[in-house]
Chain A
């Protein structure tokens, strides 16, 4: 069984640009979660999608958005990038919401 896959592995952008991060969940998993792991800030919950709908959102500004496609894959979009957006962005998936989340290896976003 293939795990959660994220692309790209690394992404370098400049301030003000827009970034798109992609995630493919484990086959059969309908829930997708996004987390930000910034240096010194730990893991912060960003977004939860299930069955194509946004179910929950963390304390992030609206320029962080995303969507889930009919095949359950997901995109995270970050607009108007700021230096403090530099972080490892982790995607996770689960079969149902009370089951363990399985994580991808992340996309490292660097803002210059």
Chain B
């Protein structure tokens, strides 16, 4: 079974400061990892993915994520937070087994960026 944990329900950061949203995963097999963002009353927007290759993945809106296989983590980062980054962030993992493909989401972390 695959699972994703986002240990923080909410992360608060001041605008201009770096931010980190944590994600750890558990899978049997090679993981495909994703970050999505959800703004109020909207669907999820894709931010970035890790399939293979470089452990540091760059995505949309200045976000990046670092894949750490030994710690089974895929933390989302941004060097300088903006108030407009305030939203709900979801980490997700997918493992392809045969013809079955299932995307499992974490419970989400609410990011609050203040002036």
Contacts and interface: CB of A to CB of B under 8 A. Distances in A.
Interface in B92-113: 94, 96, 99-108
A98 B101 contact: yes
Contacts of A90: 43-44
By DSSP majority rule, is chain A's interface helix, strand, loop, or mixed?
strand
Interface in A91-112: 92, 97-98, 100-106
B34 A100 contact: yes
Given A42-B108, A97-B96, A98-B32, A104 B43 contact: yes
B100 A56 contact: yes
Contacts of B100: 55-56
By DSSP majority rule, is chain B's interface helix, strand, loop, or mixed?
strand
A102 B34 CA distance: 12
A92 B90 CA distance: 15
A74 to B, nearest CB: 15
A72 interface: no
Interface string A6-50: 100000000000000000000000010101000000110100100
Contacts of A105: 41-43
B103 A33 contact: yes
Interface in B52-107: 90, 94, 96, 99-107
